Amino acid sequence: MTTMIQTNRVVNCEGLACPMPVVKTKKAMEEIQSGEVLEVRATDKGSVADLQSWANRTGHQYIGLREENGVFRHFLRKASEQETKCETTYPHVVRNDELVEKLASGGKINVLDVREPAEYSFARIPGAVSIPIGELEERLGQLKQDQEYYVVCRTGTRSDMACQWLAERGFSKVKNVVPGMSGWQGATERDE
């Protein structure tokens, strides 16, 4: 059975040998928008090392790999310059280690994960709720203004934008978790 992971585009490289998976990934990445997620399906065993190296070199995010019935499903997210600059402006921030402590002390903590579903699927803070930043507006009804929310993404940039946006809509107790999942040392869970 194949696991459903929401992506913006799928590139089929099944049956193709090196260097085609890398070549096709490059081409597809040029055609999607920054922040969007690409799935590359390959049977070439070399693609496991190759696509991670490729992402590392080109600056895109390698989210994760799933192997299903001899097919390697690679998930990659197109980088945006804005994120790598890592500018945050929302004043209420909580460091990763502070959130780890709060989670350990028990009690109800609302963690809101604004990354893409594929990123959330591979590693998230246990109990975190997923609302990708692009869906925040339409799913605002799922959140309550008077609740405290710890908003997290990968590097603190998307969560910063989400915090500002929520604060403008009357959410007074939202906090940006910095740096976010890129430096997360606490427990994680993932889709099986």
Partner 1 sequence: MANKRVAIIASSAGLETAYKVLNIATAAAAMDAEVGIFFTFEGLSIIHKNSENMLQLKPENAGLAEGFQKANVPAIGQLLEIAKESGVRMIACQMTVDVMGLTKDDFIDGIELGGAAAFLDFSFDAQVTLNF
Strand 37-42 to 71-77 pairing: antiparallel
CA distance 1 to 153: 29
**Touching partner 1, residues 10-69 (CB under 8 A):** 15-20, 22-23, 25-26, 50, 54, 57-59
Kindly tell me which of 23 and 187 has the beta carbon lying closer to partner 1: 23
Burial class (CB in 10 A: 0-12, 13-18, 19+), 71: middle
Minimum distance from residue 18 beta carbon to partner 1 (Å)? 6
Q: Which is nearer to partner 1, 4 or 49 (CB)?
A: 49
Give the bridge partners for 12, in sequence order: 41
Q: Which is nearer to partner 1, 25 or 155 (CB)?
A: 25
Per annotation, catalytic residue among 18, 86, 153, 163 = 18
Going by their DSSP bridges, the two strands 61-68 and 71-77 should be labelled as antiparallel
Rounded Cα distance between 21 and 67, Å, is 16
Q: Does 86 bind partner 1 (CB under 8 A)?
A: no
Q: Is 18 a catalytic residue?
A: yes
Report how far residue 106's alpha carbon sits from residue 128's, in angstroms, rounded to the nearest whole number: 14
Rounded to a whole number of angstroms, the minimum distance from the CB of residue 130 to partner 1 is 30
Is residue 99 at the binding interface for partner 1, with CB under 8 A as the rule? no
Binding site for partner 1 (CB under 8 A): 15-20, 22-23, 25-26, 50, 54, 57-59
Question: Which residues are designated catalytic?
Answer: 18
